[in-house]
Structure 1
Amino acid sequence: MHDKKQLSERDICTKFITPAIKNAGWDVHSQIREEVTLTAGRIIVRGQAALRAKGARADYVLYYKPGIPLAVVEAKDNKHGVGAGLQQALGYADLLNVPFALSSNGDAFMFHDRSGGTLIERELALGAFPSPQYLWERFKAWKGYSDQALPVVTQDYCDDGSGKAPRYYQSRAINAALEAIARGQERVLLVMATGTGKTYTAFQIIWRLWKAGARRRILFLADRNILVDQTKTNDFKPFGTAMTKITGRNVDPSYEVYLSLYQAITGPHEEQKAFKQFSPEFFDLIVIDECHRGSAAEDSAWREILAYFSAATHLGLTATPKETKEVSNITYFGEPVYTYSLKQGIQDGFLAPYKVVRVDLDRDLQGWRPTLGQRDKYGHEIEDRIYNQRDFDRKLVIDERTQLVAKIVSDHLKATERLGKTIVFCQDIDHAERMRQALVNENADLVARNRKYVMRITGDDAAGKAELDNFIDPEQPYPTLVTTSELLTTGVDSKTCKLIVLDQRIESMTKFKQMIGRGTRIEEDYGKLWFTIIDFRKATELFADPDFDGEPAVIFTPQPGGTTVPDEEENNGADDRTGDPDDTGGEADTALRKYHVSGVTVRKVAERTQYFGKDGKLITESIKDYTRAAVRAEYRSLDEFLRKWDEAEQKAAIIQELAEQGVIWEALEEEIGKDYGAFDLICHVVFDQPPLTRRERAEQVRKQDYFTRYGDQARRVLEALLEKYAASDITNIESIDVLRVQPLNELGTPVELVRAFGGKKRYRQAVQALERALYVRPAGTDA
């Protein structure tokens, strides 16, 4: 018999919980998964340092078949009660959207069932674990699956052999779309934040419908060539020879999956409407990528395609559903069947958090007024009025302002990472070119090394657009710093973008979200865990707008006669062959004169840094304030912290525990000083105690004649450990592996050094005694 009280949680799983589940008929290969990672763990940023908190990991997830979860089981050791893990299991069940959650300590199971009309929560004996068929039947009833829907909703996911599987939210999005389509819903909307894998999600939806025979001919529509090409080459690759990209006016009806630019199959003239070469009933599923753009407007030329294929199911994908008085995604598609927001993506650790540096310039705050009769640098008399931030770079150019913005951005890069991919959003093409020139002058050393260090990428410039692939390629260092106005706002998978500069006035929430989305991807292999936004135009005030991460609301107002105000984004950078129609410089519009002035004094008057908080809001908080709050959540008083520190056999465990609570040691050292150890950093920052450096603590130990109790070789080992502590910190002397590195390995082999203390046990006791000597509380003080 086992003494359950002495068993670890893992032992409880192995000896009691897993056998009980298997005995109930669950297949260990296809239906039982242990230690399932659900979220990656939120990334916490302070200063230039970041750490990843613990992610959500379920002890067990039980599946009807791979990809269709039914239940979560959470285990605890036998010192806990049967239901101690139930609330944790319920949280994971909410993530997976399943109605069954169970908890066990090895004695029994606590079973939570919300699949029926009445919530049931009861204790089950180990031998009474519910069978797969029992839970599946209740799950089907809870979901309302019809017999006709089952072949679709139970169709296997595509397994391309890469080991890639949908994340929990992608599975929820895929299943929600399939369920809606299986119910007969003709228009379906999925809202997923930029960087969360909308295209991969769409692929799995199409694949399962296609394999189930529920949809046989599919059209995937996008409005940028790069989106179509990326989709065909990457996520949609398993379709193989069944797939084609429509490129010309003649179409081949022998394929089953078609990818196309809107512009490739339609145009203002009848002979350009290649989509009409298909019969209206040819496609039975149309997937519209970035559906907040051109096809959102009722009178859009692109909406004509959807109207022609009205018999097909229409699936819209967007990170930013468009809801204005003129345009409405929801009016067309209906309420989203699933939403995964930027806030949730950051909380789960799948998206990069951001810090915001808001910069105020004196001229932006105070405005500028010409003197009477003043002319600009090109001889044009300047209209006499006060020009403000709304006018700068649209109606009035101040050269010194452009130069100052370029200097502030460049100084930031010089202080952080000069080869970090950066996008500077400018007011228009003219502004983007002037900013490029200013940035070249501020970074002449790197431009001399490679002229592509700074480039303009806008719709009118073939040389810049030709470098777009290199900019988004993590393996290519150049271009590094690019200026643009509209071309990079959407559809550009710039995974390693670490800095976004906003020097453009932004009033569209949709556009703002798309700009911010250029930085939200994580690329850990390249050190991209978070990104910075430098805001010169107060654009980030939109973060405080409830619409930024809230549920979209319909405010669409149909116009008389069935017309709408033209969608300003319909052709925004859409046609890679003709450039950005909205991306025009001031000189191209003779009706709007742009004045150019120089010799104006422009200064930075304020700068503040804000971070993404736990509630999804921006907070202005110093590293000290943040650390104080994180530690006091764990230790209410200095005495409590000191007691825990003194009792810990391994101080490294406390340091790691505080890191998991959000203490960023690197950022603390950067602000307080690198000569202090973790103990003194906490005592000083959190509990206002005077700190001692590691060197000062080491010298105190030496003055105590502490080493005289040991033999010569043991004394030399302890002196070396003390010096190692003074140079690095306590964690580096607690592991016995320290005996293998310099200078300790010069004193003898690990076996010889341990033997000098009388064995491993006494060696560890000596190290712990050394630690007590280091952290002894001086008489007359609190610490």
Structure 2
Amino acid sequence: MAEKEAKARIKINKLLEDAGWRFFDTDKGKATIKLESSIKMDDLGEDFENSKNGFIDFLLVDENQNPVLVLEAKKESLNPLVGKEQARNYAKSQKVKFVILSNGTLHYLWNIETGNPEQIQVFPTLESIKQYYEFNPDPNKLVSEEVNADYVVLTQLPNYKQIPEFQDEQKKKDLIFNLNLRFLRYYQVEAIQAVQKAVSEGKKRFLLEMATGTGKTLTSAAIIKLFYRTGNARRVLFLVDRLELEEQARKDFTNYLKNDLTTVVYKEKRNDWRKAEIVVTTIQSLMVNNKYKKLFSPTDFDLIISDESHRLLGGGNSRALFEYFLGYKLGLTATPKDYLKHLDTENIEDPRELERRMLLDTYTTFGCESGIPTYRYTLVDGAKDGYLRQPIVVDARTDVTTKLLSEQGYGVMVTVATSEQEDVLEEVKYKQNHFERKFFSDETNRVFCKTFIENGLKDPITGEFGKSLVFAVSQNHAAKLAQLLNEYAHQYFPGKYQSDFAVQVTSNVQNSQQMTVDYSNDKLLGFSNFAKGNEVLESYKTSKARVCVTVGMMTTGWDCPNILNLALMRPIFSPTEFIQIKGRGTRVHTFEHKFKNELGEQETISIDKQTFKLFDFFATCEYFEEKYQYDQVLKLPKNFEQGDDFPIVDDNTLKPKRDGYEYKENDKIATWNEQQVDFTGMKVDRMFFQQFEEKVKTDEELKQLMEAGDVEVATARAKEKYDNKPEEYFDLEKLRRSLKIDRKIGWRELLELIYFGNQIKGKDDLLSDEFEKFISTNNVADINDLQGLRYFFYAYITDPSVREIIDQQDFTELYHNPTFNVEDFNRVPDEMKSKLPYYVKTYVPLNKFLSA
């Protein structure tokens, strides 16, 4: 492969300039980069080949020309850590404590007074280094800090012990509830103490494995207070993976810590986030075009917390972002690694294999390669302690799902060819993962919904159907199920609902995020009037909508403790997803209703949630070898009437539905319009994107969605409204050519270009970005020939023939390969010959590099 990469000096110069350092005096101020007086930059060579020993020391100064940082720059073939003692001596002579070691590709920031060099992806700014000088953490203070159950309450209400109501046991409970005081449970204190112990052992990474509903956010708040109070963190970054979780985290941290710390959502405070001590953001909002490198310096945060870390850090992009920042790293996960017991790690076809990789990477990221987290509190622990509820699992399988779940699958005979003599038949076999994708059955969906409504738990106050979540295969499937549930509600509860018993909550539904909030707050589609006419119960506040039908939303980080029923009307193959879904029902809750009796005295009905039902229509619990005892197994009627969606194996006249719809009537052309394209229309090849941009910018619906951050919904709507529709006939291929992009692009990239100005990168730039992520998340400190490693990385991604040779280990073919030959392969360290392909297959989206 031809060497087109910029050399070390050019790269380092650009890194310095990107971070705001100046080689010359400008109108912004004096130069902040100095060389020895006898050295001229242009004489050094592009790779410092003309410098003595192949490296040079830069002295970086502040606006008053005071030294603040030493940069030791080496040629690319030298490891940046080589000769670091010389850099230390030079730094000491200049009375600075920070050193950057770089060869243009690998970079380290080193505080010579307190620790070891830490890998960075960009150079720090002057402002961030100045703040770092003022920051003098003391781990010993953190380790010795006393943490008790009232650690957070002492921030919420410092004098709580002096309040008279708190001395009265009768009134104490009401006081705690009304003021939302959050005392730590014993296991939360133990988790914090485990972090303290890890710090005492010199560790900077921690992983808390705590079951859904056990208060990971409250535990995080206490840890944030611990780091801030002891002077070991100036600012904290809290990363979430969904937009709706940003605001929820902000509210929680504000409630817990507002008397000491300010919490902001980054997108709402883009210009003054530095005034806050806690910054909350989605990881996705920072990853577009590596935006985080422009917005933040590696030293801006001293504690980075990854909520639901098994999801957040499951890809190379997010891992690179996470590793970008220096400081302590805390991961939170509800998914136990032990959940993947008996996994066939040799069988790549096992649908749990990718999940296993993701979990193992999560544990490795936080220094827990052995699979033992810093602290663990399981669902079983929570249930034993009374903090969580276990479900009643309802294993309900229909005739159809039983066949889909079988090894043989559901077989359908299809006519594939016809002649005068005979028909040629072929059997098509469907499995559970084909349900509502290739195999459709309205009757099965009807049985699911009928069974669910007839057997679901009821609200213990009014007897109304309990608040529930139903998980569907797709958005179309969700729409079908919501309609069926509303039809049955009309039948079973006449006059109580007006097609508002069940509501679809998926990303393509406008305001779906607000729907999740309203459902949690018991006011989705208004308040229930189920008990209307009952003087005691009609004022009971609960949501009018009783069932939310969703696909991927409401699975993680969303709290609604009064959920009584969960229904899996789709198969699930991800243990992480399954345990998160199940966690929506495990939280404890007290159903409570206050009312005045006939004497005008206030009374309270209070009933604790004892359990919840998990309707399992696809043997998901069995699939994951669930340990729960099935308290109830419903046997569904076997002889229900078959509909058109039930092909009979020996009836060759019925064809399996492949696209979800079987049209049986005649068809014809209804209208005809023929128009000659004149010469001006040929300008489309040059002006096509501008036309599209003008159209999209004036689309109020898309504008509102993008401004609200609903990028996924906007993407779906843009594709629906504009993909190859008459008049303009916009499509991705024409738009790509108009933009002169040398790879396939997506609708989301186009919207982010138009609304956010995020440039769509070409193939070369993407490759460079992906390689940076690779070396930032893998230890390459001992590799001398990074250029050779880069060639291997590029070739493996872009050339299918190279991938096939490497994957099949048919290395003799490299002798004839024009892209990547034997000599190139021999430059790659042995460890990387297997590690790099594994990384690419796991983390790099190869479809991005497909040629147009």
- TM normalised by structure 1 equals 0.48
* TM-score, reference length from structure 2: 0.44
